[in-house]
Amino acid sequence: MIALPETTSDAEWRAWLRHGSHRDFDAAVAPWLELLQRIARRLLGPSLLADDAVQEGLLQVVRRRSELDPSISCETALASAVYYRGLTLGRAEGRRRRHETEAGRRWVRRSDRPQAAADLTALLSALDTEQRQVLQRRYLDGEPIGSIAGNLGLSANACTVRLHRARMELRQLVQ
């Protein structure tokens, strides 16, 4: 069961909707941040994506302030913005993972042929050790980015950048 914080008064919320500043918004949102983060983590797991969902959901509330119904409570508006942004980010992450997994499968299928496997091995050996590790773990072993990053002591973003650079290097080697 989720414990609810002390609520932002309806009057404070409606005042912010009409003519509030960012400071007023910060004050209205502050009691709800922990709850919003828990909602996002339940949707997306304990990841940076959950933090992004909270941040982007709150930005969406600020940007669409004039469109919000004043009869809706602060907690409902904030929670629904974070929830729907979390769903969108989760779907996008799922599509990206499926795309990367399928790209990896195509590499593996191509490497079933003996000559292609030898060519791939030669190409991989031409890469830097860091690039080769990331490519092998992602596409040949099927490891998720987060796991690779954790094992190599990198951030997920740094791991993604290395993976991108490794693919670019492979393309140059093939051409």
Q: What is the pLDDT of residue 99?
A: 81
Q: What is the pLDDT of residue 121?
A: 76
Residue 7 has pLDDT above 60, yes or no: no
Q: What is the pLDDT of residue 69?
A: 83
Question: Rounded to an integer, what distance in angstroms lies between the CA atom of residue 143 and that of residue 139?
Answer: 7
Q: What is the pLDDT of residue 120?
A: 74
Average pLDDT over residues 11-34: 78
pLDDT tens figures, 95-139:
888 887 777 666 555 555 566 667 777 888 888 888 888 988 888
Q: What is the pLDDT of residue 21?
A: 78
- Evaluate if pTM is beyond 0.85: no
Q: What is the pLDDT of residue 115?
A: 65
Helices H, strands E: what count in the chain? 9, 0
Q: What is the pLDDT of residue 14?
A: 74
pLDDT tens figures, 45-104:
888 889 999 999 988 888 888 888 878 888 888 889 999 999 998 898 888 888 877 776
Element (H, E) at 83: helix 74-110
Q: What is the pLDDT of residue 4?
A: 45
Who wins on pLDDT, 164 or 122? 164
Domains and CATH numbers, the chain: 10-92 (1.10.1740.10), 111-174 (1.10.10.10)
Question: Rounded to an integer, what distance in angstroms lies between the CA atom of residue 131 and that of residue 133?
Answer: 5
